[in-house]
Amino acid sequence: MASSPTPALAALATLLISLGQLPSAQAAAAQPTLVADPASVVNTFIGTSNAADDFPGADTPFGMVQWSPDTPSRPDGGGYEYNDTSITGFSLTHIAGPGCGAMGDVPFLPTTGAVNGSATAPFSHANEQADAGYYKVKLNSGITTELTTTTRSGMGRFTFPATKQANLLIKLAGSQTSVSNTTVTVVSNTEVVGSVTTGHFCGASPTYTVYFAAKFDHPFTTSGGFSALNSGPAPDTARPGAPAQPRTASPQLAGPSGEYLTFDTTADQVVQAKVGVSYVSTANAQGNRDTENPQWDFDSVHQAAHAAWNSMLGRIAIAGGTVAQQQTFYSALYHSLLHPNVFSDVNGQYIGFDNKVHSVAAGHAQYANFSGWDIYRSQAQLSALLAPDKVSDIAQSMVNDYSQSGMLPKWSLNNGETYVMVGDPGTAILADYYAFGARDFDTATALTAMVHEASVQNNIRPGQNYMTTPGYLPANGQWNCCNFYGPVSTQLEYDTADFALSAFAGALGDTANQTRFANRAQEWANVFNTSSKFMQPRQADGSWTGGFSATSGSNFVEGTSWQYTGMVPFNIHGLATAFGGNAAYVSYLNSVLSGFDGAGGSKSDLGNEPSIELPWEYDYVGQPYRAQQVIRQVQDQIWTDKPNGLAGNDDLGTMSAWYVWSALGMFPETPGTADLALGSPMFTQAVVTLPGGHTLTVNAPQAADNAPYVQSLSLNGSTWNNAFLPPSIVNTGGTLDYVLGTTANTSWAASSPPPSYPGTGAPYVKTGPITSALAGKCVDDNHSGLGNNTAIQLYDCNGTNAQRWAAPGDGTLQVMGKCMDVVNSGTANGVKVQLYDCNGTGAQQWQVRGAGLVNPQSGRCLDDPNSTTTNGTQLQIYDCNNSVAQSWTLP
């Protein structure tokens, strides 16, 4: 029920109106009631045009099945472009805006008349409707298609004209990416089962097989295969990360392109279909279908899907705002809770990353589809806050993936790792989940996985060894390893992952790794040029690359230095200090945030992930009012309730989650923590239901589009003058009472920024020269080389990176991202010493013995041949003899 303002609040409103700080209409209005049926407010067409690549069809929260229409231009991921005028099919699986073509498996298309495997169906949006869990369209042919879903199955209701030639085309080869194999079996005149093998996300190599089992309430009169359909487009390489593949003709398809089923609808025009999906077997697809949807009651399934969405969406109840704002908010929340997806069947089985069948315990589920580079910034935290039980299973799924493959997911699709994008996002995602309350998973193994990935060079962290020494990733073209690119962006991602690892370790009581990785996270400073005030690429020898332009994307990933320079979300105070102080950093923020579309490479791109933290950074440098102002501008300029109302790929709900957080007036700026930087709320009230019966209530009776400025704030009845919330609030809840206005209060929270985390100041690993007893001589990497077989030599000590050695504690000596190595693992006197990829062999082990360095494999010592003092002499191993030629001092 709507409530009336208290006398004190009314008096305050009158005062604020007189001061011009409160819109009078809003002040006079009584607070509206909370939205009671949020699923009906969702507009699934938001994000189906422009570049968001969302899809409008039916699904359930985190469901395996998304039964949704596809259109001819088939933009990346979602499969549906609102501006198209025909539908190619209604496929069973979709991904919301991943940036490359994906899924769209097993499209069904209803037609009449002669079978045409290449048929499309013209339609008008005037005959189309959808909300959360339901989709309906009347095609120009007169056929009406209605779709709804359970978690692992879809249900369709097709209303045909009265005809003996009512067809359902199952376009087996119609997936978004190329299909290599199909099967189909007609079980009876009411059931068809089959499978499709596809994949190659963003041109990567992994494939998956999806099985389906379709059952009909009418017998079909005839059926048969067709081959008119092309077997799908070539692999899409729109997003970086996976090795590029040429756009060639689709491979030869093994199996039929499709299967048609013809029904007689002269007596009954409605044909219903129930389709189960599995990634294990057709039998499991049948089991999923029959267990979750045993009846033929379409409306009941629809109502159950609607109720499931209301249960999830209702965990944030809002009041106030415009109809368009409410619709935009709940549509964004809906898109935030579509992924990751249930991947295990009702019997608990799923196919693992080792391509073996595994089972989860009863009452739990395995999940798949992790858009890692994206979701750790906003979506992971929101999903954990609202659904900690499901997200605990999602976290455990990631740990299971590690157990099967030796890697946490980076950008995984179903049971395959694609390696798309950069960084180590799995670490940050798990730390986010834990920080926001999803804690019922194997945290010990999770921490082991994080530390392992952060300690060795691997396909998740290519180039990782360079972070030990020289302490940054060298510029493009200076390395030859492991799909390593965009070094400045990649390094900033590694730094963020290191900090998230530190936070997670600290939460588990592992103070050693907490300190260790908090300190390594500060290596962002090694690519920040204090002269230019930009993040810049560096050569391996320590020099800055020539010809640098802050508006160029060279050495960056999907962005420029302007957009990435602020990406130190765990230590903004330290970054501002490196700039020369808060005023200098505010100047940077004012410049980069003077535009939101990435114009010229010098403006922020609030439609893409590297920029989405920037507006909140005003909180950290004394100007929270600017955060309030800019965030409202972003909301108004980028977000609408129209199909093109979302800029950039939605990236499995990342951009949508940003909007949800911003509308609540808060944001999880620092990955791995529950720190929430504050903006200002959009709605007069929001009530967030937390586990354990707690609620987080945000009251802002003056909220209006032109009133984003915080005049004052109280937390649980006490004045709150901080630009952040206490982390405990995500568990305990509380009540926030805002007074908002139309003019900025520049003093509110200006002197109380959110926390930054500078580490202890101690280096992650001590580095320095290995000096010889021969005066002025050091162990040196010839010409600062990065290539294998580069000579390790004696040279004048000069302080360059070629002489910046590290002993990280694993028995190796490292420089320039590689290890000191005995050539060909030799053991004889005189075998030379070189630079080589760290590989864990005995040729790279060294022990201190007295003043010497012994290679245990050979039992011989690092030696300066003939005790020479000549620069460029390559070092060797030789019988240990305690001579001056074998006397070395480590850093």
Q: What is the full DSSP assignment across 216-241?
A: ESS--SEEEEE--S---PPPP--SSS
What digits encode the pLDDT tens for the residues 373-420?
999 999 999 999 999 999 999 999 999 999 999 999 999 999 999 999
The percentage of the chain sitting over the pLDDT mark of 70, rounded to a whole number, equals 93
Residues 772 and 722 both lie in one domain: no
| b/e map 592-628, b = 16+ CB within 10 Å | bbeebebeebbbbbbbbbbbbbbbbbbbbbbbbbbbb
Look up the CATH number of the domain holding residue 869: 2.80.10.50
Same domain assignment for residues 711 and 809: no
Provide the token pair at 753: 């920024």
150 and 84 together in one domain: yes
d(Cα 79, Cα 57) in Å, to the nearest integer? 10
Tell me the per-residue pLDDT of 847-860, one tens digit each, with 9 for 90 and over. Answer: 999 999 999 999 99
In a domain, 558, yes or no: yes
Residue 733 sits in the same domain as residue 773 = no
- Whether the CB-CB separation of 465 and 219 falls below 8 Å is answered with no
Domain stops at, among 741, 776, 796: 741
- Identity of the amino acid at 232: G
Give the bridge partners for 89, in sequence order.
Answer: 70
Same domain membership, residue 845 and residue 725: no
- With contact defined as beta carbons under 8 Å apart, do 302 and 150 qualify? no
Domain assignment present for residue 753? The answer is no
Q: Is residue 348 part of a domain?
A: no
User: Which pLDDT tens digit goes with each residue over 112-138?
Assistant: 999 999 999 999 999 999 999 999 999
Structural domain contains residue 23: no
Considering the domain architecture, whether residues 286 and 390 belong to the same structural domain is answered as: no
* Residues 72/257, Cβ–Cβ less than 8 Å: no
* Res. 240 pLDDT band, cuts 50 70 90: low
Separation of alpha carbons 119 and 99, rounded Å: 27
Give kind and range of the element (H or E) at residue 292. helix 282-292
Integer Cα distance of 834 and 818 in angstroms: 10
Assess whether 498 and 567 both reside in one domain.
Answer: yes
Structural domain boundaries, residue 654: 358-741
Shared domain check, 786 and 728: no
* Domain end call among 256, 282, 312: 312
Same domain, 514 and 604: yes
User: pLDDT value at position 75?
Assistant: 64
Q: Give the separation between CA 165 and CA 111, rounded to whole angstroms.
A: 8
Put simply, whether the predicted model's pTM sits higher than 0.85 gets the answer yes
H or E element at residue 815: strand 814-815
Same domain, 366 and 303: no
The answer to whether residue 145 is domain-embedded is yes
CATH number, residue 282? 2.70.98.10
Residue 44 lies in a domain: no
The residue written with tokens 């410049």 in the block is 591
- What is the tens place of the pLDDT at every residue in 450-491? 999 999 878 899 999 899 999 999 998 776 666 678 999 999
The reply to whether 271 and 395 lie within a common domain is no
The domain boundary, picked from 256, 284, 312, lies at 312
Residues 370 and 289 in one domain: no
- Smallest CA-to-CA distance from 247 within 238, 258, 257, 234 is with 234
Residue 72 lies in a domain: yes
Whether 526 is in a domain gets the answer yes
Amino acid 457: pLDDT: 79
Q: Mean of the pLDDT values across residues 5-25?
A: 39
Report helix, strand or coil for 719.
strand
Domain count along the chain: 3
pLDDT digits (tens, 9 = 90+) for 599-658: 999 999 999 999 999 999 999 999 999 999 999 999 999 999 999 998 889 999 999 999
Q: Residue 30, exposed/middle/buried by CB under 10 A (0-12, 13-18, 19+)? A: exposed
Distance separating alpha carbons of residues 295 and 567, to the nearest angstrom: 52
CATH number of domain containing 672: 3.30.2080.10
